[in-house]
Amino acid sequence: MRITVLGKSPSWQDAGGACSGYLVEHEGTRVLMDCGNGVFAKLRTIVDYIDLDAVVISHMHADHCLDLVPYSYALTYAPRQQPVPVGGYPGTRTPARPSLHVPPGATQTLRTLGGLWGARRLIEDAFRLEEYDPAKVIEVGALRLRFGAVPHYVPTWAIEAWPADADRPRFTYGADCSPNDALVEFARDTDLLLIEATLPRPERSGMRGHLTCDEAGDHGRRAAAHRLVNTHHTD
């Protein structure tokens, strides 16, 4: 399994960088975990966006889903995505429609987003949209994915991927979260835990929503993750 960090910034991109986006590849299957602002351009430097099998979204904060907008425009309006006549000439490709797995209730959020400029169905018409059931494993080609709720400002799920024909290696993406035990349990004994380390110090006021670098390390230690990679921090 190959993991490529397309963007690791928090909710504002670094110069030349991108917000959350992680490409997971295994035996020809390509899954993008999160698609924050800046990710679509980064994705294009690695693979052709029509060759992605699925996009999976951990939660509906802008820095994890906003580039679904340009991605949808590309899938809808790029000339190669519009064979003429409809259905294409013999030998032309069918327009690509990667699957898009979003949290429960997120369809409405995406409609509201597109609806702001009169394009309510932009994203669901571009992708094959599905709201995942966090209690169920989903299969995308050679990969399986499962979900684990983690505490954050909005409903958020950590996502784990592993080969469909084996138990390992396991790649666990912790999404955004405040200090918690749920992620520790979800990620227990994982091969690689990608975990946010947003804060230089704990939030000064209000509810907690993110981790410091020390806390990220503590979660990795408690989960007995074989390897830990910090993400979601600014330069």
Q: Which residues bind Zn ion (CB under 5 A)?
A: 61, 63, 176
Structure tokens given for 110: 């995406």
Whether 39 contacts 8, CB under 8 Å: no
CB atoms within 10 A of CB 179: 16
Q: How far is the CB of 20 from Zn ion (least distance, A)?
A: 6
Q: Is the dihedral of CA 127, 128, 134, 138 positive or negative?
A: negative
Q: How far is the CB of 57 from Zn ion (least distance, A)?
A: 11
Q: How far is the CB of 152 from Zn ion (least distance, A)?
A: 5
Residue number with CB closer to Zn ion (61 or 101): 61
Q: How far is the CB of 167 from Zn ion (least distance, A)?
A: 29
Residue number with CB closer to Zn ion (65 or 143): 65
Strand pairing category for 227-231 and 143-150? unpaired
Residue number with CB closer to Zn ion (1 or 183): 183
Residue number with CB closer to Zn ion (146 or 152): 152
Distance, CA of 112 to CA of 54 (rounded, Å): 22
